[in-house]
A and B are shown apart, each in its own frame.
Chain A
Amino acid sequence: MKEFTYTIREAVGIHARPAGLLVKEVKKHASTVTIVKGDKSVNALKLMALMGMGIKCGDTVTVRVEGEDEEAAAPALEAFFSEHL
């Protein structure tokens, strides 16, 4: 399992459009991606649950990547976060 933390910079947080971009990115990889904020966690393929986390600008989240392509997927996702979120 690979893991990294990230602080959201997107002004409106993870709402519909940014969440959609994230789901699209996650679908490119075979690994299961989990977003953890505080004591809540959600599968990053579940758009509405992701939006329901209410992740705002300035929030720090932990991103967990687990699966056969995790070595490649984790850095790709980290790059995606810093570019879009």
Chain B
Amino acid sequence: MITIQGKGVSAGVGVGPLYFYHRHDSVVPRYTVTDTDAEWHRFKGAQTGAVEQLGELAEKARAETGDEGAQLFEAHQMMVEDLDYEEAIEQRISGQHLNAEAAIADAGEQFAAMFEAMNDPYMQARAADVRDVSRRMLDILAGTRPDTFDPEGPVVLAAEDLAPSETIQMDKSKILGFITAGGSGSSHTAILARTLGIPAIVGAGSALKPEYAGREVILDGATGNIVIDPDDMTRDRLLKKREEQQRLQRLLQTLKGQPNTTKDGRSIRIYCNIASPEDVHAVQVNDGGGVGLFRSEFLYLYSADYPTEEQQFEAYKQVLSDMEGKEVIIRTMDIGADKQIDYFRLPEEKNPALGMRALRICLTRPELFRTQLRALYRASAFGRLGIMFPMVASVWEVREAKRLCEEVKRELKEEGVPYGEQVELGIMIETPAAVLLSDRLAKEVDFFSIGTNDLTQYTLACDRQNNNMGRFYDPHHPAVLRMIRLTAENAHKDGIWGGICGELAADLTLTETFLAMGIDELSVAPRAVLPLRNAVRMTDTRQSGPRILAALESEYDTV
């Protein structure tokens, strides 16, 4: 049994023989020509052929996946006929006397490089489109047809990478799953797999060896787990998982648009945790009620230098406008501890989790914080924004942060820049100090959101990065649960709302407990929304509530 870890991009379990798809990446012939006119006509012939082939593919895609898939191939058709691309080829033929093949390959690389240099993952992925259309013309010139996918029965398809034109030509009824060595979550294979509901894993890397071809493989598109030659236990476990998933999926689809209300009529808000503007799509697909935690760190992590006010503004504005008036809570940068960034030049610390992180950095370097706050307030004109400060231990920290917010608002007003008047301010509750002071903190802010991962770490004095802590790191620990309850109670005493945005929020074994505590909002990964809604709708807090709370407050250890 061989286990490989990749990145799951389309959920589901697939099992079958492994089939390797090889594209013959033949060497591009390269020579100089004297008759450049003849070479130009060879290119024009290949171009016409490619446009024809792509037209056929567009029709095939329209029948299989609808207009969206077809439009992609129509865009490919236009790339083949693109004026700049044609001009780049023409220059190489008539200027450099290159043969058509080399001219096409070089021009394709030139445009692929342009896309790869753009700082947008969607556009970077378009490099694959240009290479795909260039290869199509090279195949036509070489007289070869693209490799055929023709297995005897259904298979799990593995490849280095798959171009959209390759996947669309394949008979999907024979594909039980996709595994690629390269690729990303925004690659066409991933998008297509999700559209068709076929499990898919990308980024399996070199561990995926062609010599495994023909052997039995199980892939779990939810976890990114690939098992070759599974033993009986593993196969049974995963097949059972597949059955449960399929049953659950059917149930969950019926829950879209339904309220998160218990049998006894209590409602709770279910929001989503996201890490980049692209995740909004998943929020919408899974019917999330809002964004409960937008981690702004991605702006800092994927950048070589401090992101500018403008860059931040664009990202926040995009999420706010895409969410169409639903609430979006953006957490100010949570840098430090496990998220280190070179250009911040933070001094090395023996205990980063107890060191300069998050709000502490912001209050120490207010110029950085001010840039982020300006971007946030400017974006607030485009939707319903909440701002949340992480890593609070003292009341003065919150007051200082609020003072900076007021300054930024005053600046914007003087500059005549619009901002929303209804921006809610809240804090993460993730230190025992914040829990014990939650009665006072509730007078300072509009909401609390409990970060259970850090709260567990700080309450139990257990490093969450330390894999050896095992049973000592226990988010279900009664001390952690009592902290959550106390926070909710103190929030309600002052009429503000209290939610949970840590991993624990999606823990279905605790949903009843959170409902009993009166938690107002749970913010979870988009895919966890519908399972959580299902759990809420099955609960009757009249029955379970008093018992759960009594057990929690009991002086005897009953668990």
How many residues of chain A get a CB closer than 8 Å to chain B's CBs?
24
A29 at the interface (CB under 8 A from B): no
Cβ contact within 8 Å between A58 and B314: yes
Distance from B137 Cβ to chain A, minimum over Cβ atoms (Å): 15
Cβ contact within 8 Å between B71 and A56: no
Cβ contact within 8 Å between A16 and B129: yes
A47 at the interface (CB under 8 A from B): yes
Q: Among A5-13, A61-69, A70-78, which stretch is in contact with chain B?
A: A5-13
Q: Mark A1-38, 1 if CB is under 8 A from B, else 0.
A: 00000000101110111011101100000000000000
Give the A-B contact count at a CB cut-off of 8 A.
72
Q: Which residue on B lies nearest to A48, using beta carbons?
A: B82
B321 at the interface (CB under 8 A from A): yes
In this complex, the interface size class of chain B, counting residues with CB under 8 Å from chain A, is 20 to 34
Whole-angstrom CA separation of A45 from B122 in the bound complex: 21
One of A9, A23, A46 near B321 (C-beta < 8 A): A9
Whole-angstrom CA separation of A21 from B83 in the bound complex: 16
One of A11, A13, A21, A56 near B281 (C-beta < 8 A): A11
Cβ contact within 8 Å between A52 and B78: no
Distance from B19 Cβ to chain A, minimum over Cβ atoms (Å): 28
One of A20, A43, A54 near B71 (C-beta < 8 A): A20
B84 at the interface (CB under 8 A from A): yes
One of B82, B84, B85, B280 near A11 (C-beta < 8 A): B280
Distance from B59 Cβ to chain A, minimum over Cβ atoms (Å): 15
Cβ contact within 8 Å between A54 and B123: yes
- Which chain A residues border B83 with CB–CB below 8 Å? 43, 45-46
- Which chain B residues border A17 with CB–CB below 8 Å? 68, 71-72, 75
Residues 77-108 of B at the A interface (beta carbon under 8 Å): 77-79, 82-85
Whole-angstrom CA separation of A20 from B318 in the bound complex: 23
B142 at the interface (CB under 8 A from A): no
Query: When A16-B72, A58-B314 are in contact, do A51 and B123 touch as well, CB less than 8 Å?
Result: yes
Cβ contact within 8 Å between B111 and A57: no
B63 at the interface (CB under 8 A from A): no
- Which chain B residues border A24 with CB–CB below 8 Å? 74, 78
Q: Among B112-120, B344-352, B505-513, which stretch is in contact with chain A?
A: B112-120
One of A12, A13, A46 near B84 (C-beta < 8 A): A46
Whole-angstrom CA separation of A58 from B381 in the bound complex: 13
B317 at the interface (CB under 8 A from A): yes
- Which chain A residues border B115 with CB–CB below 8 Å? 51-52
Cβ contact within 8 Å between A46 and B71: no
Cβ contact within 8 Å between B118 and A56: no
One of B68, B72, B77, B120 near A56 (C-beta < 8 A): B120
Distance from B41 Cβ to chain A, minimum over Cβ atoms (Å): 23
Sample (24) of A-B pairs whose CB atoms are under 8 Å apart: A9-B321, A11-B281, A13-B120, A16-B126, A17-B68, A17-B72, A17-B75, A19-B75, A20-B74, A20-B77, A46-B84, A47-B79, A47-B82, A48-B79, A48-B82, A48-B85, A48-B114, A48-B130, A51-B123, A52-B115, A54-B120, A56-B318, A57-B318, A58-B321
9 closest A-B pairs (Cβ-Cβ)? Answer: A20-B75, A16-B75, A47-B78, A17-B71, A47-B82, A48-B82, A58-B318, A57-B318, A58-B317
